[in-house]
């Protein structure tokens, strides 16, 4: 298995991050969403390497096979972790692909470190520009929504994740968007995270303001969002992000839920390949 060691924090503590490195060609780094891990990209990691892309996906600290530290789940630290990966693998001319919470890592990384190593950006169902409703962000989501999420996780994390997974993929009595075995697989991935990381990251993705970071994204950018997303509503996120990154290509997936990397996997793979190769961009 492959691991990198992050830059030590102020107390001298570092974290080991697990990653996969598949294929050869132009590097594409995949950053997973909450509360999953890098394995959520299974259908992208099995297809894009066939198109001469080097695909790298890693587990965020506290998730998957990476270390489970007790603290430091803020976006500044998570952006530092992404930098550690790029530096360790000596990557340049990189396309960053971030899903949901992972979109925030991309925004904060570029806000802190710029675009020298980055050639393109893809934001999928991303939490940008700012999820929390405040006086300065009236378009956001009420704080009570995130408080209830944390309360439910604290009470019964497996039950919360089971219910959350159904909403994540748009499963209902009238819509079997994905199979029961796929839901079970999703649950298994989510349970590979630490309890502390699961709750701390809710605070991070809900309370972090990425608006200044987005203004620094000047490379070609693709934004993809489902208009039936109940986890990160398109009105709060995708629509606003597209306005802030005026040069971005914005694709709305009609009737798609949050977890479109599964439900719309073929369309997503095609759009990713076209964008990274520079077709119709």
Q: Which residue has the tokens 């993809």?
A: 224
3-state secondary structure of 253: strand
Asked about 21 being catalytic, the answer comes back as: no
Cα Rg of the chain, angstroms: 17
3-state secondary structure of 66: coil
Q: Which residue has the tokens 């930098």?
A: 83
Candidates 32, 38, 225, 258; catalytic one? 258
Candidates 59, 213, 229, 271; catalytic one? 229
Asked about 100 being catalytic, the answer comes back as: yes
Q: Which two tokens stand for residue 83?
A: 């930098």
Bridge-partner residues for 251, per DSSP? 224
- Separation between Cα atoms, residue 6 and residue 17, nearest integer Å: 7
Cis peptide before 141 (omega within 30 of 0): no
3-state secondary structure of 257: coil
Q: Are 105 and 216 in contact (CB under 8 A)?
A: no
- Separation between Cα atoms, residue 24 and residue 54, nearest integer Å: 4
Q: Are 231 and 258 in contact (CB under 8 A)?
A: yes
Candidates 66, 100, 125, 237; catalytic one? 100
User: Known catalytic residues?
Assistant: 100, 229, 258
């Amino acid at each position: 298995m492959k691991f990198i060691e992050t830059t030590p924090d102020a107390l001298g503590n570092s974290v080991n991050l697990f990653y996969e490195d598949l294929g050869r060609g132009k590097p594409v780094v995949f950053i997973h969403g909450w509360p999953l891990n890098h394995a959520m990209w299974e259908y992208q990691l099995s297809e894009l390497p066939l198109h001469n892309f080097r695909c790298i996906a890693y587990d965020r600290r506290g998730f998957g096979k990476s270390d489970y530290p007790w603290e430091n789940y803020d976006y500044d630290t998570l952006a530092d972790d992404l930098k550690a990966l790029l530096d360790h693998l000596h990557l340049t001319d990189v396309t960053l692909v971030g899903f949901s919470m992972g979109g925030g890592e991309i925004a904060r990384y570029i806000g802190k470190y710029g675009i020298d190593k980055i050639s393109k950006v893809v934001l999928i169902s991303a939490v940008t520009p700012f999820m929390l409703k405040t006086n300065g962000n009236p378009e956001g989501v009420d704080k009570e929504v995130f408080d209830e999420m944390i309360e439910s996780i604290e009470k019964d994390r497996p039950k919360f994740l089971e219910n959350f997974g159904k909403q994540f993929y748009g499963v209902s009595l009238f819509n079997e968007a994905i199979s029961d075995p796929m839901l079970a697989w999703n649950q298994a991935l989510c349970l590979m995270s630490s309890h502390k990381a699961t709750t701390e990251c809710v605070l991070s993705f809900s309370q972090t303001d990425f608006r200044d970071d987005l203004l620094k994204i000047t490379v070609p950018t693709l934004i993809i969002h489902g208009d039936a997303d109940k986890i990160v509503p398109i009105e709060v996120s995708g629509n606003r992000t597209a306005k802030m990154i005026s040069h971005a290509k914005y694709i709305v997936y009609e009737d798609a839920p949050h977890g479109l990397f599964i439900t719309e996997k073929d369309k997503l793979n095609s759009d990713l390949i076209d964008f990274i190769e520079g077709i119709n961009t």
